[in-house]
Amino acid sequence: MTKIIVPATSANMGPGFDSLGLAVNLYLTVTIVGPSSQWLVHHPFGPDVPSDEKNMIVLSALTVDHDIEPQELRIESDIPLARGLGSSSSAIIAGLLLGNELSSTVTLSSETIFQRAAQIEGHPDNVAPAVFGGIVVAGPNPAKPKTFLHYQVQLPADYLPIVVIPDRQLATSTSRDVLPDQTDRRQSVQSSAQSNILVASLFNNDWANTVHLLETDRFHEPYRLKLVPELTEVRRIAHDLGLSGSYLSGAGTTVMTIVKKDQAGNLLDQLKKSEKLKGAQIQALSFDAKGARVIRD
Ligand SMILES: Nc1ncnc2c1ncn2[C@@H]1O[C@H](COP(=O)(O)OP(=O)(O)O)[C@@H](O)[C@H]1O
Ligand SMILES: N[C@@H](CCOP(=O)(O)O)C(=O)O
């Protein structure tokens, strides 16, 4: 049976709000069981997520080709919903790949799948690493309205991502609602400078400085902190160990820390001891370098 696999993503690396994201080894897997008289989606997400043609994956597939035959689908997922790990992006991309597989008239390239998914999401920071894998800088293409440019960064060999995933959902739309419409000019200039330096450090594989720059966001973290106080606790614990590299993953509630591999065990031990992080899923991950893929047999 054909399987579609899409990784989870962590957007908003540092001051790279809406433009810098990375893919990790948590996956959404969609198995195409076969044709059915109507769309039937077996999934583990409970009654709030539709199991018929209203499911986000099916809706996305139908944007590729309205005439595709209904299918029975089986969904497995390690990506928790509404926690800042790009579950909606992975569902949209899985749907576009599904439509691509099932259509007899349309064939989409990875580039087109990325562009369409970014248009649907409205920002490319999750969908770029979800489609292409790794760490990606992406943003609006000034030469072509409604399209996006994207550039992939080399992955660091000696760092890995650690996630703290609170046992609490936060819809991206809710978390965007707390952001101000305007920011101060001085602050914007400083944030823009730090974002530029962060991108330069990423392309120079300078992770000793990158981890500090990951903590310089002023676009969203100050406003979202009240929704995700765990960020303060993770930073406190990491700083006590002399470690930087923590940021709010996407719109929250996940907190991501990029840490040197030889420090990961130390940090995990301390995070797991914290009363304030009780109930959170705390684990070391790895970067996903491949991005979305289709496995046919
Ligand atoms: N695999 C999926 N199938 C169907 N709907 C999904 C799937 N993954 C996510 N969604 C929808 O997207 C919502 C979460 O999107 P969002 O608030 O953007 O959070 P995030 O993308 O950070 O996980 C879920 O509540 C659900 O409605
Ligand atoms: N830049 C977006 C990223 C949202 O990511 P998600 O994983 O929470 O969907 C934002 O901050 O709103």
Question: Which residues are CB-contacts of 111 (< 8 A; sequence separation ≥ 6)?
Answer: none
- Alpha carbon distance 40, 14 (integer Å): 40
ipTM for the predicted complex? 0.98
Query: What SS3 class is residue 110?
Result: helix
Q: What is the number of the ligand 2 atom nearest to the C-alpha of 83?
A: 8
**pLDDT, mean of residues 39-61:** 97
Annotated binding residue 133: no
Token duo for residue 70: 């209904």
Compute the mean pLDDT over every residue in the chain, rounded to the nearest whole number: 97
Q: Which amino acid is at 25?
A: N
Measured from the alpha carbon of residue 227, the closest ligand is: 2
Is 77 in contact with 27 (CB distance < 8 Å)? yes
Indicate the CATH number for domain 159-284. Answer: 3.30.70.890
Q: Whose CA is nearest to atom 14 of ligand 1?
A: 82
- Alpha carbon distance 279, 258 (integer Å): 21
- Alpha carbon distance 91, 6 (integer Å): 8
Query: Strand locations in 43-185, DSSP E?
Result: 71-77, 135-140, 148-153, 159-165
Is 44 in contact with 76 (CB distance < 8 Å)? yes
pLDDT of residue 133 exceeding 90, the answer is yes
The predicted-structure confidence for 217-276, as pLDDT tens digits, reads as follows: 999 999 999 999 999 999 999 999 999 999 999 999 999 999 999 999 999 999 999 999
Q: What is the number of the ligand 2 atom nearest to the C-alpha of 19?
A: 1
- Alpha carbon distance 75, 31 (integer Å): 6
Q: Where are the domains of the chain?
A: 3-153+288-295, 159-284
CB-ligand 2 contact for 251 (6 Å cutoff): yes
Q: Out of 3.40.50.300, 2.60.40.10, 3.30.230.10, 3.40.1410.10, select the CATH number for domain 3-153+288-295.
A: 3.30.230.10
Is 232 in contact with 248 (CB distance < 8 Å)? no
The answer to whether the 3-153+288-295 and 159-284 domains have the same CATH topology is: no
- Alpha carbon distance 164, 283 (integer Å): 7
Q: CA dihedral defined by 132, 135, 140, 141, rounded to 10 degrees?
A: -70
Token duo for residue 76: 């497995």
The predicted-structure confidence for 175-216, as pLDDT tens digits, reads as follows: 999 999 999 999 999 999 999 999 999 999 999 999 999 999
